Amino acid sequence: MKSYKFAKAILYKLEDMFRSQAALARYSAITSSMNSYQTPRTPIKDHMITLMRYSVKVANN
């Protein structure tokens, strides 16, 4: 019974650790997408692919 409680405590701590990393990654992706702009002579296709990459990062985190 002790080992079960110990394992459960470790899992909770790991979840807390990774939750904060996921939030930081999501924040970074959102900020990057909001700050992105299409540079002159860059095809719209390339710009949209870049924005879609940021959207995927947000969705995955």
3-state secondary structure the chain: CHHHHHHHHHHHHHHHHHHHHHHHHHHHHHHHHHHCCCCCCCCHHHHHHHHHHHHHHHHHC
Residue 27, domain member (yes or no):
yes
- pLDDT greater than 80 at residue 19: no
Residue 61, domain member (yes or no):
yes
The tens digit of pLDDT for each residue in 23-55 reads 888 888 888 888 888 889 889 999 899 888 888
Residue 10, domain member (yes or no):
no
pTM for this structure?
0.56
Residue 16, domain member (yes or no):
no
Residue 17, domain member (yes or no):
no
- pLDDT greater than 80 at residue 1: no
Residue 29, domain member (yes or no):
yes
Number of domains in the chain: 1
Residue 2, domain member (yes or no):
no
Rounded distance between C-alpha atoms, residue 11 and residue 46, angstroms:
41
Rounded distance between C-alpha atoms, residue 4 and residue 50, angstroms:
45
The stretch 2-26 carries a mean pLDDT of 82
Range of the domain at 53: 23-61
pLDDT of residue 45: 92
- pLDDT greater than 70 at residue 7: yes
Residue 3, domain member (yes or no):
no
